[in-house]
Chains A and B, each alone.
Chain A
Amino acid sequence: MTVGVSISLKIPDNTAYTALVALRRLGVDVDRVERSEILLFDDVDADALLARITADETMFNPNKHRVSVLQSAKPSWGEVWIEPLSNPGRRAVAWRLYNAHGSPVKRPVLEMAVERLLCNPAIERAVTRDLFDGDNRNESE
């Protein structure tokens, strides 16, 4: 079984803020951007993995980062993972975009953000939940 780990900043994320400003400039209707690093591992014990990561200061700085094990090794609804084509399925950057009401943006907005800024299709691919579960998403999820 694949275990997914999310590492994000608990201090202000300058990259996410830069993405927010750039996306707005590109006409993407977004109010907040969150970003985290996703690492995927096959056939490991989740607790042991978490202990290993939190002990590795090249990956995890407790003053800056928070780390969690994902409930499932796939993106949440409203989230996109940008994976390098050179090493797919091992690591990704997860982006979550929110509208002014604090809800995840709808799919067309997320697709616009991916196409205009978040993904260079020459070297990356965008992975969303429906690639795993089919496009049967309830927009209120």
Chain B
Amino acid sequence: MSARIAVPVFPGTNSEDETVRLLRDCGGDAELVHWTSAQTLASYDAYVLSGGFAYEDRIRAGAIAAHDRIMDYVIEGAQHGKLVFGICNGAQILLEAGLVPGTGPVRRPTAAFAKNAPEPHFVCRHVYLKLEIEPSRCAITAALPPWALVPAWAAHAEGRLAASPNDLEQIVSGDHLAFVYAHADGRVDDAAVPNGSALRCAGLVNGAGNVLAIMPHPERDGWNFNHLDRCSGDDVLAPSGGAALFRSFLEALS
């Protein structure tokens, strides 16, 4: 029997359908689990927290959701080694829940994806995530090649990694910096960063390597129809591009 993946839906989540669809198109057994059915989450093998505006981002992005009953199950699962993958608002929730970088107690965040800088505006821009760790450092990236480039869309107003100098140092020294922003040719510089993120960070991993949080959306660049110049005919419905990260996630579950 294949691993069962839950895509939890908080009030305000808005990227759950494309997330489930890409997981299924890559061969995964994924289902939506709404907040009213949170008690069923314990029976799943892995969790993908998708994008949106959970609880309308009241107080702070991800702050209320981090204390939702859904997260009781996700945190318990993560502590028992289940894979947890957060995208955009899902990533913000994982930071607020203290699961990544995981350098402090649970639900005591040591970092945040804060308002973009220098302008605190919403950014919608095509980006590339460059794998900054050894692929095997994180179970979810283990099937990617070293220095893999994953295409995705940054679509957020709060995606700038922010933390104290001490916590940023711990992120670096603890090998928590999973992805940085890069150009299509793999070059990494400030021009590739859409939001002023510290360390040019696009994604963080926890110490155990089973929880990954990334800000950009690979599922919005995950099919050939997102790259119409490179496909034709029936090819348009085949997963590609950002699907590589989803395939790697599923590989870890197989």
A binding-site residues for B, Cβ under 8 Å = 14-15, 18-19, 22, 25-26, 84-86, 115-118, 120-124
**Are the C-beta atoms of A14 and B115 separated by less than 8 Å?**
no
A15 to B111, CA, bound (A): 23
Among A22, A86, A122, contact of B109 (Cβ-Cβ < 8 Å): A122
Interface Cβ pair total, 8 Å cutoff: 52
Sample 8 A-B pairs with CB under 8 A, ordered by A number: A18-B58, A19-B59, A84-B114, A120-B109, A122-B114, A122-B162, A122-B167, A124-B60
Interface centre among A14, A19, A86 (most CB of B within 10 A): A86
Given A122-B114, A123-B162; 4 other pairs, CB 8 A cutoff = A19-B59, A22-B59, A86-B114, A122-B111
A69 to B226, CA, bound (A): 52
The answer, yes or no, to whether B154 is at the interface (CB within 8 Å) is no
Q: Given contacts A19-B58, A120-B109, A123-B162, is CB(A86)–CB(B64) below 8 Å?
A: no
The answer, yes or no, to whether B26 is at the interface (CB within 8 Å) is no
**Are the C-beta atoms of B58 and A120 separated by less than 8 Å?**
no
Among B59, B112, B115, B167, contact of A18 (Cβ-Cβ < 8 Å): B59
Q: What's the nearest-Cβ distance from chain A to residue B218, in Å?
A: 25
Contacts of B110 in A (CB 8 A): 122
Q: What's the nearest-Cβ distance from chain B to residue A84, in Å?
A: 8
**Are the C-beta atoms of B112 and A86 separated by less than 8 Å?**
no
Among B67, B111, B115, B164, contact of A86 (Cβ-Cβ < 8 Å): B115
B binding-site residues for A, Cβ under 8 Å = 55-56, 58-60, 63-64, 67, 96, 107-112, 114-115, 117, 162-164, 167
**Are the C-beta atoms of B67 and A25 separated by less than 8 Å?**
yes
**Are the C-beta atoms of A86 and B117 separated by less than 8 Å?**
yes
A129 to B186, CA, bound (A): 50
A22 to B63, CA, bound (A): 10
Q: What's the nearest-Cβ distance from chain A to residue B20, in Å?
A: 27
A110 to B110, CA, bound (A): 20
Among A14, A26, A121, contact of B58 (Cβ-Cβ < 8 Å): A14
**Are the C-beta atoms of A15 and B59 separated by less than 8 Å?**
yes
Q: Lowest 4 A-B CB distances belong to which pairs?
A: A15-B58, A123-B114, A123-B112, A122-B112
Among B60, B64, B115, B117, contact of A120 (Cβ-Cβ < 8 Å): B60
Contacts of B112 in A (CB 8 A): 120, 122-123
Contacts of B63 in A (CB 8 A): 117, 120
A39 to B96, CA, bound (A): 26
A41 to B115, CA, bound (A): 22
Contacts of B164 in A (CB 8 A): 121-122
